[in-house]
Chains A and B, each alone.
Chain A
Amino acid sequence: MSGADPEYGHLVPLLERYAALDPDDPERDELRDQLVRGYLPVAQHIARRFANRGEPLDDLVQVATVGLINAINRFSPDRGSDFFSFAVPTISGEVRRHFRDLGWSMRVPRRLKDMHVSINSVVSELSQRLGRAPRPSEIAERLGVPVGEVLEGLEASEAYRSSSLDEMLSSEQGSATVGELVGQADAELARIDFQQSLRPLLSELAERERTIVLLRFFGNMTQTQIAEHVGISQMHVSRLLTQTLDRLRARLDPETRAG
């Protein structure tokens, strides 16, 4: 999508003119309208990518359009990058923030929400470098903030219930080896006395939850290892495991537990 792009190519000179105008120039409003209309299909396209996550598409398009306006306002053509490589992350970022704000089960100050996002964004990088999950002190050092703030952010993470942000922050697909690992975990499960009471309950679980439970409790993998194999964040694995254990516990009444 360069300047020669037939669909958006004619907008490039307008962007340059817009960026060069004085902030008070009356011509800006009209130019901006033209640019927003011209690039609107980009915002719509990004909004559609986030559809089917429980939010109405109209709302997502609106949020994406806000992101587009921000991108138009902040873009500076003289830096040499093209508009798309700047606009796409800006627009996606706005939509993600929308989901992030929806995902909290109790009122959490914005500062802590941002800390949650910051922590989440460095955990997988640190895990890879360290070969294990990072400690709060290591996260604090990486972010350049006091440990106390990281601890507060971690505590706030417990109030975060939506999986949507975590899913967006991490890759879409699990590794090809997951099936093999689950096979090994399954074999381990078969050696357990209580597997007859557990197996039907496990089979009721959604595939991903079942996979995570098998890998953690029968495949002997840590949450961080599972996160890497399944392609979601460690915090998301932790949340899914807690929820799944709750559900299993409710279904395994004391009599069944004993068997």
Chain B
Amino acid sequence: MTIDGNATVEITTPASPTLIPTIRAVASDLAGRADFDLDAIADLRMAVDEACATLVDLAAPTTRLRCTFLLHSDHIEVVAEVRAGRADAVVSTETFGYRVLQTLADKVSVQHVPDPAGNGPTVGIRLHKYAGDAAP
């Protein structure tokens, strides 16, 4: 990797679809600089797109989408999070969107942190993408 291991890049945007292209451009730029192969770059880009689109659908109005990229020595880890609008909101894993994430990323999981004040929970998607043929 050309970028020093353990660097972190964080972006927050309004939780609306408008700025998702910006986030996915950052994703493919980081993967390119880390010398991922072209398939892995495109996969990460699409996975980030899918994760952000899923979360924006669940987000409470006027909240923010936070996307954190953790640059490891052989892979990039992405955590995308929003505060959900409804108390019972969850990221469903029984959808085509989740299938897409599972195919594109090497590892994917959902996060769910209830809000102590009884507002919507913080929901997130965490995914790992390896640089190329090292993928498990």
Contacts and interface: CB of A to CB of B under 8 A. Distances in A.
B100 interface: yes
A60 B99 CA distance: 44
B106 interface: no
A141 B44 CA distance: 24
Contact of A134 (B29, B38, B42, B92): B38
A248 B96 contact: yes
A197 B33 CA distance: 38
A133 interface: yes
A241 interface: yes
A137 B32 contact: no
Interface string A208-224: 00000000110010111
A258 B94 contact: yes
A133 B96 contact: no
A25 interface: no
A234 B39 CA distance: 8
A137 B42 contact: no
Q: Size band of the A side of the interface?
A: 35 or more
A137 B35 contact: yes
A132 B37 contact: yes
Which 7 pairs, one residue from A and one from B, show the smallest C-beta to C-beta distance? A133-B39, A133-B38, A238-B42, A133-B37, A257-B95, A135-B35, A135-B37
28 contacts: A132-B132, A133-B37, A133-B132, A134-B37, A135-B37, A151-B32, A151-B33, A155-B28, A158-B28, A194-B96, A198-B96, A217-B103, A220-B103, A222-B39, A223-B38, A223-B42, A224-B38, A224-B39, A238-B38, A238-B42, A242-B46, A245-B49, A245-B50, A252-B96, A257-B57, A257-B92, A257-B97, A258-B95
Given A134-B38, A192-B99, 10 more contacts: A123-B38, A133-B39, A194-B99, A197-B96, A198-B96, A217-B96, A223-B38, A234-B39, A238-B38, A242-B49
